[in-house]
């Protein structure tokens, strides 16, 4: 029942990335590559600003503008290499589409993202699709709300 997705290695992703750049008549640059690298190494969902900061910390000699980060993220998302989650009015967070399937709880107050997987939900989705003779290729489930800390009115985390 459960599809096992093969996780791509970094070199495989890089080949894919270079192909996408070529198809879009964009030059391969190290500035563009490091954005992919940072996303690959990131264990969590990251905002463009966080990616920009991580690039600056990890590759201090590279001059990468925030505009390059935004443009590269848009390109990667349009080509299904990364996924984004929109939270509240604050913006978007990105993750590489290279993890086993999971769904998300999103706090619209602080932007926290909790990942979960529920076998019953997955099975029900397949049953519903079957009922309508519908072939599922993918699905995205995002539950928006307020996390435990924000509900308690705890400290606001600025991100």
- Where do contacts with Zn ion occur on this chain (CB under 5 A)? 95, 107, 109-110, 112, 115, 147, 150
Comparison of 67 and 89: residue with beta carbon closer to Zn ion: 89
Residues 6+ apart with CB under 8 A from 125: 136, 139
Residues 6+ apart with CB under 8 A from 39: 46, 51, 76, 82, 94, 95, 96
Min dist. Cβ of residue 91 to Zn ion (A): 15
Residues 6+ apart with CB under 8 A from 14: 33, 36
Comparison of 65 and 88: residue with beta carbon closer to Zn ion: 88
Comparison of 21 and 81: residue with beta carbon closer to Zn ion: 81
Ramachandran quadrant class, 133 (left: phi over 0; alpha: psi -120 to 50; beta: rest): left
Cα 144–chain centre separation? 16
Min dist. Cβ of residue 133 to Zn ion (A): 30
Comparison of 109 and 122: residue with beta carbon closer to Zn ion: 109
Min dist. Cβ of residue 95 to Zn ion (A): 5
Min dist. Cβ of residue 21 to Zn ion (A): 25
């Amino acid at each position: 029942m459960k599809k096992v997705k093969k996780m791509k290695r970094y070199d495989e992703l890089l080949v894919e990335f270079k192909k996408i750049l070529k198809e879009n008549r964009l030059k391969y640059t190290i500035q563009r590559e490091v954005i992919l690298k940072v996303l690959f190494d990131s264990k969590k969902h990251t905002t463009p600003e966080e990616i920009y900061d991580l690039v600056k910390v990890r590759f201090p000699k590279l001059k990468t503008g925030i505009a390059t980060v935004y443009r590269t993220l848009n390109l990667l998302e349009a080509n299904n290499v990364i996924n984004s989650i929109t939270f509240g009015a604050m913006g978007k967070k990105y993750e590489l589409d290279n993890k086993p399937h999971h769904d998300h709880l999103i706090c619209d107050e602080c932007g926290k993202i909790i990942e979960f997987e529920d076998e019953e939900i997955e099975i029900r989705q397949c049953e519903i699709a079957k009922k309508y003779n519908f072939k599922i290729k993918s699905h995205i489930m995002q539950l928006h709300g307020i996390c435990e800390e924000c509900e308690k009115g705890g400290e606001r985390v600025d991100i």
